[in-house]
Amino acid sequence: MASLDDLKKRIASVKSTQKITKAMKMVAAAKLRKAQESAEKGRPYSEKMNNVILNLSSGISDKENAPKLLAGTGQDKVHLCVVMTSDRGLCGGFNSNIIKKAKSYFSKILDENKELKIITVGSKGNDQLKRIYGDKIIENISFKESKNANYFDADKVGKIIIEKFEAGEFDVCTIFYNKFKNVITQIPQTQQIIPLNDEGSENSSDESYEFEPDEDEILSNLLPKNISTQIFKAMLENSASEQGSRMSAMDNATRNAGEMVDKLTIEYNRSRQAAITKELIEIISGAESL
C-alpha cells in the first residue's frame, strides 16, 4: 500500500486537476452561449443567400452554359475535401468525430480510384490526418489568432477554394464540419459545395424576377460569395459545437476527478487508521510484556 505521504500528494494533484477542468467547463459554458448566439444570428444570411440562388438557378433556362460553380466541370475525378476542426484540444470527441467521418469518405473516394486533395482548417485536424494522408494535404489553414469565427476568415478560405477551382485543380468540393444540435449532441456533417447541390429546390417559387444586370452576371458574382457564406456557416456551427463538446467533456472530467478524490480520501483515512492501530498494539503489547 502506498505511504500516507504519497496518498496525500496524489489527492492534492487530482484536486488541482479538478480545479482546472472545472474552470475550463465554466469558460466553455460562457463561450458556448456566445457562439450559439452568433450561430443563430448568422442563419438568416445563409438562408436568404440560398433562397436567392435557388430562385436564380430555377430561372436559368440554359443549363449547359450555367456557371461552372453551379453546374460543375462535368467531371468527377478530383475531389477536394475541406476538413474543418478546432485549433485546441480537450474537447471530447469533437475532432475525432469529424476525422472519422472524413476518413471513411476518403477511403471511399480512393477505392473508386479518384484523386483526393485535402485542405484542413484548424490545426487539430491536420495533426490527426497528416500521418495517413500527409501527401494528400495541399493546404493547412489555421485561425489561432482570431478569437471568434468571423466572416473575414471564412472569406479567405472561400477565396482559396475558388482560386483552386478556377485553376482546374479539382472537380468536386466537399466540406466536413460538426453541426450543433445541443450541448451533448453534435452531428458530423458532409456538405458538397461545388457543384452546388440543389436539394429542396422544389420550394423555389416560379415567380419571375427582373434581373439587373442579367442572370449570368449576377450568378457569377453571387456563387463565390455563397461559397464563403457556406464556409462561414460551417465555422459558426463548428465553434458552437466545439464549446458544447468541451463543456460536456470537462463536466465529465470534473465528475471523474471528484470520484477519484473520494476514493483516495477513503484509502488515505484507512491507512492512517491502520497506522494508528498498529502503533497502539505495539504500545499495549510492550506494556503487557513488562
Q: Which stretches within 60-72 are classed as H helix? A: 68-71
Residue pointed to by grid coordinates 477536394? 80
Q: For the chain, first and last CA: distance in Å?
A: 33
Residues with Cβ within 8 Å of 285's Cβ and at least 6 positions away in sequence, in order, are: none
- Cβ closer to other proteins: 170 or 232? 232
Looking only at residues 218 through 237 of this chain, which bind other proteins when binding is defined by CB under 8 A? 218, 221-222, 225, 229, 232
Interface with other proteins includes 58 (CB under 8 A)? no
In 50-110 the beta strands, taken as DSSP E runs, fall at: 78-84
Interface with other proteins includes 200 (CB under 8 A)? no
Q: Are 185 and 87 within 8 A, CB to CB?
A: no
Q: Which of 11, 42, 86, 257 contacts other proteins by CB under 8 A?
A: 42
Site string for other proteins, 98-137 (x = CB under 8 A): ----------------------------------------
Q: What would the grid cell of residue 284 be?
A: 499495549
DSSP label of 141: E
Q: Which of 93, 110, 130, 151 contacts other proteins by CB under 8 A?
A: 151
The CB-of-80 to other proteins minimum distance in angstroms stands at 23
Catalytic residue annotation: 91
> Distances from the Cα of 155 to the Cαs of 40, 84, 149, 163, 268, in angstroms?
19, 14, 11, 12, 57
Segment interacting with other proteins, rule: CB under 8 A, options 1-9, 179-187, 212-220, 250-258: 212-220
- Sign of the C-alpha dihedral, residues 93, 96, 98, 103? negative
Longest dimension (CA), the chain: 114
Interface with other proteins includes 64 (CB under 8 A)? no
The CB-of-225 to other proteins minimum distance in angstroms stands at 8
Count residues near other proteins (CB under 8 A).
Answer: 29
Interface with other proteins includes 33 (CB under 8 A)? no
Residues binding other proteins (CB under 8 A): 38, 41-42, 44-46, 48-49, 51-52, 55-56, 150-151, 154-155, 207-213, 218, 221-222, 225, 229, 232
